Chains A and B, each alone.
Chain A
């Protein structure tokens, strides 16, 4: 794609950062679903990090099935797939790149390395990850 951008409501950004802080020191992860074809993230679904780890995340396999069934029933797709980096920069790790399996999703990485579980500065960045290639995109926050 020539130009790619994530448009996202401020409240959803805040909710993702809050989730990242709440799950610190482990990685937090989840999805924002939106109507098929809209590219509009609407419904935040925080997921459990089944591996409960500061450097890895994985959705539980049964949660994953329920999530995709529910999205299917509602004619939704995962517009955003997010996770946190508790101690490193907000850029996809090698594992993030090899595991990325939704070529149409915006992969959001939020870093809370500066202040961890408490309020403070954070980095919030969005990427496309297709066939092992990472492209950062602009974010437009809707108030």
Chain B
């Protein structure tokens, strides 16, 4: 299924400035794979060998995927995804 993904400012260079893009997948992992296919380089900004990067937040509708099933979280037909880098520092 195709869903909408909201892209944060810092990743918009990959999407030619687009704030909202479409992606396909039945799980978050599949959606991220599809994003990488269409916007090469974006994938490694989101995930590393251990999974979702520590300072990247991804939400399915209003839920932080860390409180769902992480990359295995299921994506439904009317879901939308929001990607937000953490606002953090020292």
Q: A residues touching B (Cβ–Cβ < 8 Å)?
A: 29, 31, 47, 55-59, 61-62, 64-65, 68, 77-78, 81, 83, 92-96, 99-104
Contact = CB atoms under 8 A, between A and B. Distances in A.
Interface string B6-31: 00111000000000000000000000
A48 to B, nearest CB: 12
13 contacts: A31-B87, A55-B90, A58-B89, A61-B64, A65-B62, A93-B90, A94-B90, A95-B88, A95-B89, A95-B90, A99-B89, A101-B86, A101-B87
A107 B9 CA distance: 15
Contacts of B10: 101-103
A92 B89 contact: yes
Contacts, number: 67
B66 A101 contact: no
Interface of A is mostly: mixed
Given A103-B9, A103-B10, A29 B84 contact: no
Contacts of B85: 101
A64 B86 contact: yes
A112 B88 CA distance: 19
Contacts of A102: 9-10, 87
B: interface residue count bin:
10 to 19
Contact of A100 (B62, B64, B82, B89): B89
Contacts of B88: 56-59, 95, 99
B19 to A, nearest CB: 9
Contact of B84 (A55, A57, A68): A68
Counting from the closest, the 8 A-B pairs by CB-CB distance are A95-B90, A101-B85, A96-B89, A58-B88, A93-B90, A59-B87, A61-B64, A99-B88
